[in-house]
Amino acid sequence: MDLTIVIESEASSAAQEAVEEVLAEHGLDSVDVRRAYIRESGDPLPWLALILINGTTFTLATFFQEAIKAAAQEAGKEGWRVIRDLVEALTTRRQAQEGRPGSVTLRFEQSEVEIPMDSGLSEVAFRRMGELRNPSAPLSGTLRWDESTGQWVDSLKGRFICDEPACTEFATTSRIVSNGQKSTRIMLCDQHDSDLQPTEDH
Ligand SMILES: [Zn+2]
């Protein structure tokens, strides 16, 4: 399992040790913890913990299975509980230590998709997360839990209309287009996005 946890670069060594302790308590003591997330601010910012998941054929399910294996003392525990308990423990420990709120985020390095671990995520949300294959969020880069449909969806899904003139469909993909020196980000529906792609089979 290629798993790394990155916390803010200004975090103390005590904060790093606390994260390592939480991981060890969950049977994940081989996970690398780095103080490497660089931000600049004169004021204290919320703490953060990014759980980086690497691997070309990686899925959350694999992560859960590996986490279960590693967490031998938690034998019989379902996969989604492993990640939920880990996120809860990280949040509790860091919040107590820093005295201010922060956030835990899962990040899939390969697909560049992030899942913010909002507090109060339901059991169903964690279960569905465990079933995700190749998470994808071409519009926003992040997934959010949609309680009404019971699915993890692109955070911006259903929020913006396609940028193609006169199109009234919801945008599903964000792309950078450039003409000359100028690059612009546009949002497109499925149809207009596929129109933009070079066609090889015609
Ligand atoms: Zn369109």
C-alpha 194 to ligand 1 mean position (Å) = 10
C-alpha 202 to ligand 1 mean position (Å) = 22
C-alpha 145 to ligand 1 mean position (Å) = 25
Average pLDDT over residues 127-131: 79
pLDDT in tens, 64-106: 556 655 554 554 556 677 778 889 999 999 999 999 999 999 8
C-alpha 186 to ligand 1 mean position (Å) = 11
pTM for the complete prediction?
Answer: 0.81
- Look-up of token digits 């919320």: 46
Domains of the chain (ranges plus CATH)? 3-154 (3.30.429), 160-202 (no CATH)
What does each C-alpha distance from 57 to 1, 4, 144 come to in angstroms? 11, 17, 22
What pLDDT is stored for residue 84 in this prediction? 84
C-alpha 97 to ligand 1 mean position (Å) = 48
C-alpha 136 to ligand 1 mean position (Å) = 20
pLDDT in tens, 9-50: 999 999 999 999 998 887 777 789 999 999 888 888 999 999
- Cα 16–Cα 91–Cα 96 angle in degrees, nearest 5: 75
Average pLDDT over the chain, rounded to an integer: 84
C-alpha 173 to ligand 1 mean position (Å) = 10
pLDDT in tens, 158-173: 999 999 999 999 999 9
- Top-confidence residue, 200 or 197: 197
